[in-house]
Amino acid sequence: MKASCYAALIYILMCHHLSAYASNSSDCGETDCINVGEWELGVAIGIGARSNPLVDGDVLPLIVLPDIAYYGESFYFDNFEIGYQLLPSNNQSVEVFVKPNTERAYFSFWHPDNVLLTFTSSPLDGPSTPTFPTIPGVPNEPTKPVQKEISVDDVSKRDWAIDAGVRWQYYQPSYRLSAFINTDVSGVYKGTNGGVNVAFPWRLNEWQFTSSLGAVYKSTALTNYYYGISIADTKSKDTFQAKGGWQYSFNTSASYQFSDSWQILLRFEITQLHSGMYNSPLVKDKQVTSVFSGFVYRF
Amino acid sequence: MNKFIITFLLIINATFAQASIWTVEPNQCLVTDAREYCETDVIFTLNIDLIEEYCVFEDDVKIGCFLPSGSPIIIKRKIDKPLVFTLVGEQGGIIARANVDLTVLQAQRKRRRVKLPWSIF
């Protein structure tokens, strides 16, 4: 993952260099500005999926995706996040908000991200049991403790949680920096998460690109609630205490507007899970990958 | 939501500068959204006798010079920002200036989204 992080950083720096020539406006662009008091509605239709790191977890299909936002003078609704913007200025803002925590999505097929279609297999849906040839005496995954895997189908139900948070953002023409901290206000996992993200928008001819790097800390309480194994999950005494840690992600998207209402959208994202999570017998992958390609219609 | 640009225009009163040495029409482009612009002929008319060569510049770029016939100079221009024209005499001195302003009517207030589009992914 280190190599891929470096590759992502080099890619972003190259893009950033390009953007110095391609972008010279300090105002928000067409893609991230919205008229006050108007709904922004878009739907992306295409093909894509997000991998599921859980043992026997269903891949999350990305077929029809909404982009819904409404902004008042200070209040906003943006893709299921409801918030209030404090101290907005041209180049920075602070907002407080509530939003669903998406960790639960891996445990169920339904998620706001998804469409109700059944995928039986996907390139992103790795096998639930290793298929590498077994060499006697050599474990298949030497970095992961040898432990019996536990299927997501065999553990007790995890609940959806609601997070409340505060986010600070700093805007420049060539990048957008944000830092946030969220806490569970629904009493489900009773923990916190927080992180930083830097996004680089840039243009190349008619294509609009955004690439970002992010780091998110997920607390032990959060990680253990979703990925720990308690006596409620297993009939044996083999419990597992998941621990908090930092997850790193790289995201890039490209869009090409070819008419007033239509555009092409391509997205790719990879997240490196932290060891306190992927060491869980419930987790089989160290990364989560998300890809999508399709068409966007803006109403 | 519609981001593509509609041509609007225009106006209006001519610019009378420097005791009507010249007239520049229009002097204003009116749009309803900051992303819109005007496409129009800008007409420069000299209101004095041509006793020397007078030329019109936009920034440092010469657009044209008035002919002895006194006929106006007409250029087609896209007005997506305020324009400043100068009338320059034979010796290179600036005789007059005229502005063509871009005015946004009832500007729709905009906010930057706190999340990037498609952040639901």
CATH number for the domain spanning B70: value is 2.60.40.2470
CATH number of this structure's domain A2-298: 2.40.160.40
Inter-chain residue contact A265 with B118, CB threshold 8 Å: yes
Among residues B56, B67, B68, the alpha carbon closest in space to that of B24 is found at: B56
The pLDDT value given to residue B121: 66
pLDDT tens-digit readout, B92-108: 889 899 999 988 876 66
Distance to chain A for B109, nearest Cα, Å:
6
Cα A93 to Cα B78: distance, rounded to the nearest angstrom: 35
Integer angstrom CA distances of residue B16 from B50, B72, B93: 18, 15, 19
**Identity of the amino acid at A96:** V
Q: Distance (Å, rounded) from C-alpha B82 to C-alpha B104?
A: 11
Q: What ipTM was predicted for this assembly?
A: 0.73
Q: Is A299 in the B-facing interface, judged by CB distances under 8 Å?
A: yes
**What residues pair up with A200 in beta bridges, in sequence order?**
A211
Entry field: residues in chain B: 121
- Which of A78, A70, A67, A60 has the alpha carbon at shortest distance from A44? A67
With an 8 Å Cβ cutoff, the interface of chain B facing chain A consists of: 1-4, 35, 108-121
Instruction: Supply the Cα-derived Rg of chain A in whole angstroms.
Output: 20
Q: Answer whether residue B119 is part of any domain.
A: no
CB nearest B110 (choices: A34, A44, A93): A34
Longest dimension (CA), chain A: 66
Q: Which of A26-35, B35-44, B45-54, B63-72 has the lowest mean pLDDT?
A: A26-35
Q: How many CB pairs under 8 A join A and B?
A: 92
Q: Residue B2: its pLDDT value, please? A: 38
pLDDT value at residue A276: 95
**Contacting A residues, span 234-263, partner chain B, CB-CB under 8 Å:** 253, 257, 260
Contact A232, A36 (CB under 8 A): no
Distance from CA of A167 to the nearest CA of B (A): 9
Res. B16: pLDDT tops 50: no
What does A6-75 look like in DSSP terms, one character per residue? Answer: HHHHHHHHHHHHHHHHH----S--TTTEEETT-EEEEEEEEEEEE---BTTPPPEE-SEEEEEEEE-SSE
For A131-195, the DSSP string reads -SPPBTTB-SSTTS-------GGGSPPPPPEEEEEEEEEEEETTEEEEEEEEEESSSSS--EEEE
| Mean pLDDT, contiguous 10-residue spans, chain A (299 residues) | 51 43 43 85 94 91 92 92 86 94 82 41 41 41 59 89 96 92 96 96 89 96 94 80 96 91 94 95 94 94
Q: In the structure encoding, which two tokens stand for residue B91, read together?
A: 């010796």
Q: What are the residues facing A7 on neighbouring strands? A: none
- Is B118 in Cβ contact with A253 (below 8 Å)? yes
At A204 the three-state DSSP class reads strand
- Does the CA dihedral B83-B89-B94-B96 come out positive or negative? negative
Q: How far is A164 from chain B (nearest CA, A)?
A: 15
Within chain B, strands assigned E span 7-8, 15-17, 22-25, 28-31, 37-46, 55-58, 61-65, 73-79, 83-88, 94-104, 110-112
In a domain, B116, yes or no: no
> Residue B56 corresponds to which amino acid?
V
Contact B116 A210 (CB under 8 A): yes
CB atoms within 10 A of CB A285: 17
Amino acid present at A255: S
Q: What are phi and psi of B95, to 5 degrees?
A: -90, -40
Q: A14-28: string of b/e by CB count within 10 Å (b at 16+)?
A: ebbeebeebbeeeeb
With CB atoms and an 8 Å threshold, state whether A35 touches B109.
Answer: yes
Q: For chain B, what is the domain count?
A: 1
Strand partners, A43: A66, A297
Give residue B94's domain range.
7-104
The interface residues of chain A toward chain B in range 162-221, judged by CB-CB distance below 8 A, are: 167, 169, 171, 176, 199, 210
The SS3 of residue A211 is: strand
Q: How far apart are CA A273 and CA A249, in angstroms?
A: 9
Is residue B120 in some structural domain?
no
Q: Is A98 at the interface with chain B, CB within 8 A?
A: no
CA distance A20 to A18: 5
Q: What is the pLDDT of residue B19?
A: 53
Burial class (CB in 10 A: 0-12, 13-18, 19+), A149: middle
Candidates A35, A51, A208: best to mutate against B (most CBs of B within 10 A) is: A35
Q: Do A260 and B116 make contact, defined as CB atoms within 8 angstroms?
A: no
How far is the first Cα of chain B from the last one, in angstroms, to the nearest whole number? 22
B120, A290: Cβ pair inside 8 Å? no
Query: What does the alpha-carbon distance between residue A293 and residue A231 come to, in Å, rounded to a whole number?
Result: 42
Q: Are the beta carbons of B111 and A31 separated by less than 8 Å?
A: no
- Residue recorded with tokens 């960790």: A103
Shortest CA distance from A31: residue in chain B: B117
What values do phi and psi take at A20, rounded to 5? -60, -25
Q: For an interface test with A, give the residue of B1, B4, B5, B81 to mutate (most A CBs within 10 A).
A: B1
Please report residues of B whose CB lies closer than 8 A to that of A79.
115, 118-120
